[in-house]
């Protein structure tokens, strides 16, 4: 059993014991799912996005998750204010650049957040992270395009890690997590996860939950991504044949029943150093 797998299970135990408050500035399509995912894993969500209160909310939180899924100027300003406050207080910031590469507004917002806020973890799909790396991206809405699937995910992850001094998590058929030196590949998950809106956003919220109990953001990112993948596997085993609606709810059920033993038994993590 590798050390990273054991460290992931230790963090899950920490979340359930400490119940960290996780501040999510996310999108109106998935806000409820993100809140429920955070609750299910053992943390406590707060979904404040008004500029009049984000700095106060960040100040009492253990982590901040910024998600640009549904953008408007109101939330863009709030995200940057909250991110700066989190930096001031040394509170971890997770950034989910949903749809980066798809529109001028998303591209400019992504670049502005990365310019003004020190990000600790970037979690996205290969098209989104390819855009951040400076590659020509063919983002298909909020999904990875087939054109971008040929990109070198490990190389792109490491490039972004070094450019922004952060951890990068690229989710896909095989998930890639890197801190610029270590690289973990996670083979958990099920293809039905891509047929339910919000599973990527939920994954970022889970990563934020794990970041809320440690300064080891590499392990936290691996743990959050692995937990979501395992939940998808369990959900499909239980109700997959019933359709995506039942699968959606069963993912939350699986997260709520996640424990250190289950995580350790089902994790499919391969770690290397470059």
Instruction: Give per-residue pLDDT as tens, 121-168.
Output: 999 999 999 999 998 765 555 545 455 566 799 999 999 999 999 999
Instruction: Give binding residues for substrate as ranges.
Output: 47, 198
Task: Show the 3-state SS of 172-238.
Answer: CCCEEEECCCEEEEECCCCHHHHHCCCHHHHHHHHHHHHHCCCCCHHHHHHHHHHHHHHHHHHHHHH
Within a domain: residue 152?
yes
- The single-letter DSSP state of residue 148 is G
Residue 76, domain member (yes or no)? yes
- Residue at 133 is within a domain: yes
Residue 204 CB contacts under 8 Å (≥ 6 apart), including other chains = 34, 65, 67, 94, 96, 123, 224
Q: For residue range 39-98, what is the model confidence (pLDDT) as tens digits?
A: 999 999 999 999 999 999 999 999 999 999 999 999 999 999 999 999 999 999 999 999
Residues within the annotated binding site for ATP? Answer: 123, 171
63-67 and 167-170 beta bridge pairing: unpaired
Residue 178, domain member (yes or no): yes
Q: Is residue 226 part of a domain?
A: yes
Share of the chain above pLDDT 70, in %: 94
Task: Compute the mean pLDDT over every residue in the chain, rounded to the nearest whole number.
Answer: 94
Query: In the Cβ-directed half-sphere of 183, how many Cα atoms lie within 13 Å?
Result: 18
If one counts the domains in the chain, the total is 1
User: Which residues lie below 8 Å from residue 88, measured CB to CB, with a gap of 6+?
Assistant: none
Written as six digits, the tokens of 9 are 């299970």
User: What mean pLDDT do residues 233-243 have?
Assistant: 94
- Within a domain: residue 263? yes
Q: Do you know the residue count of the chain?
A: 274
Residue 1 has pLDDT above 60, yes or no: no
Distance CA 223, CA 227 (A): 6
Instruction: From 267, 197, 269, 271, select the one nearest 231 (Cα to Cα).
Output: 267
User: Which positions make up the binding site?
Assistant: 47, 123, 171, 198
Q: What's the domain range around 60?
A: 3-269
Residue 83's CATH number? 3.40.1190.20
Within a domain: 38? yes
- Tell me, yes or no, whether 274 lies in a domain: no
């Amino acid at each position: 059993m590798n050390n990273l797998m054991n460290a992931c299970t230790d963090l899950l135990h920490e979340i359930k014991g400490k119940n960290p408050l996780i501040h999510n500035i996310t999108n109106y399509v998935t806000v409820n799912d993100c809140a429920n995912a955070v609750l299910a894993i053992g943390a406590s969500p707060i979904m404040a996005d008004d500029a009049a209160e984000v700095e106060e909310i960040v100040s009492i939180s253990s982590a901040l998750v910024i998600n640009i899924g549904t953008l408007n100027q109101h939330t863009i300003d709030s995200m940057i204010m909250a991110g700066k406050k989190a930096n001031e207080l040394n509170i971890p910031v997770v950034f989910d650049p949903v749809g980066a590469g798809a529109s001028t507004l998303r591209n400019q917002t992504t670049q502005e957040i990365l310019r003004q806020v020190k990000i600790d973890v970037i979690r996205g799909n290969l098209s989104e992270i390819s855009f951040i790396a400076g590659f020509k991206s063919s983002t298909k809405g909020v999904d990875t395009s087939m054109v971008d699937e040929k990109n070198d995910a490990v190389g792109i992850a490491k490039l972004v890690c070094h450019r922004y001094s952060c951890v990068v998590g690229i989710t896909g058929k095989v998930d890639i997590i890197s801190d610029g030196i270590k690289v973990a590949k996670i083979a958990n998950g099920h293809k039905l996860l891509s047929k339910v809106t919000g599973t990527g956003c939920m994954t970022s919220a889970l990563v934020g939950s794990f970041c809320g109990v440690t300064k080891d953001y590499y392990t936290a990112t691996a743990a959050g991504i692995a937990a979501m993948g395992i939940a998808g596997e369990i959900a499909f085993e239980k109700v997959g044949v019933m359709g995506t609606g039942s699968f959606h709810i069963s993912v939350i059920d699986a997260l709520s029943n996640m424990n250190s033993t289950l995580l350790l038994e089902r994790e499919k993590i391969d770690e290397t150093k470059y």
